[in-house]
Amino acid sequence: MERQNDQMTSKEDVFTDEEKIIIHSAIIQSSALAIVNSEGNIQRANHAFHSMFNPASTGDDLWHIDNIIDEYAAQDFFNLVRDVISMEHCWSGQIRLRNTLHQSFHAFLHISKAPEKGLYVVQVNPVDHVNEYERLRLMAYTDELTGIPNFRCFHERMNQLLEGRDAALHFGVLFIDIDHFKALNDRYGHVVGDKLLKACVYKLMKNIYPDGEVFRKSGDEFLIIVQQPAQIEGLIERLYAAFMQQVYVDGEGIPMQVSIGASLYPIDGQDTESLIHTADAAMYQAKRQKEMPSL
């Protein structure tokens, strides 16, 4: 019976050349599609993509994919997702885009490697065209400001990890706090403060991938799940080094620092709250040590 089911699945998963043509045609007609090179320049796009984003009308014009990303989304977007695609072969997510009229809207974006080396296929579906369940799920598990997974998503991911209670399971949780962020927010204003948070998120994601998953807890606090505890020390050093460099917002360099604490499963706790509490306490200890006057 198992062999028969395998054969049935195999037959169902394989389309004929004629069926592939039908599927490709349907996708092209229903989606905004573009081909992007390794630098992020859009080399070719269908009519729907041009109508949505390009003020020019010629199909051969080059423009960069970052130009269609809303200013409140992650900075340097394509470099970020290209790193993800190099490992996972594709990237999908809900993100705010900006159309030809500079109007912001939410869309489901899918980017995958093309068969040709160094090329990527970009597919855009405005949220209205996305399955309603998927749209609501993305909204529920995504931080609206930064576009990264939120605290609710962190809890679900932790539940998935802890569900099996595998005796061989070991992982770490990092608790990250941006030092003196309230003072920076008061000094520069909330608009710059929001941009500063998103710039910090980019630094986090750039420096933890592929060793960890980052989530926004609240305000200026973030959590990272690290699957391999042996990587935690090096990851923390990498993050501290990254935040020793200024963060640039609107061309102005702003000095930033973070404090980081860690906890390990199962040594420091066997449930989500215990692991957060231990990492939080370690983070505050790291913050106090930095603020103590040197003797």
Catalytic residue annotation: 220
Per-residue three-class SS string for 149-205: EEHHHHHHHHHHHHHCCCCCCCEEEEEEEECCHHHHHHHHCHHHHHHHHHHHHHHHH
Contact 266, 257 (CB under 8 A): no
CA 122 to chain centre: 16
Q: Quick one: CA torsion of 211, 92, 245, 295, rounded to 10 degrees? A: -50
Instruction: Report how far residue 292's alpha carbon sits from residue 40's, in angstroms, rounded to the nearest whole number.
Output: 46
| Burial tier of 72 (Cβ tally within 10 Å: 0-12, 13-18, 19+) | middle
Instruction: Report how far residue 34's alpha carbon sits from residue 42's, in angstroms, rounded to the nearest whole number.
Output: 7
Instruction: Report how far residue 206's alpha carbon sits from residue 214's, in angstroms, rounded to the nearest whole number.
Output: 10
Instruction: Report how far residue 81's alpha carbon sits from residue 206's, in angstroms, rounded to the nearest whole number.
Output: 9
Instruction: Report how far residue 184's alpha carbon sits from residue 193's, in angstroms, rounded to the nearest whole number.
Output: 7
Instruction: Report how far residue 261's alpha carbon sits from residue 271's, in angstroms, rounded to the nearest whole number.
Output: 17
Which of 273-287 are b and which e, b meaning 16 or more Cβ less than 10 Å from the residue's Cβ? eebbebbbebbeebb
Residue with tokens 């399971």: 169
Instruction: Report how far residue 20's alpha carbon sits from residue 41's, in angstroms, rounded to the nearest whole number.
Output: 27
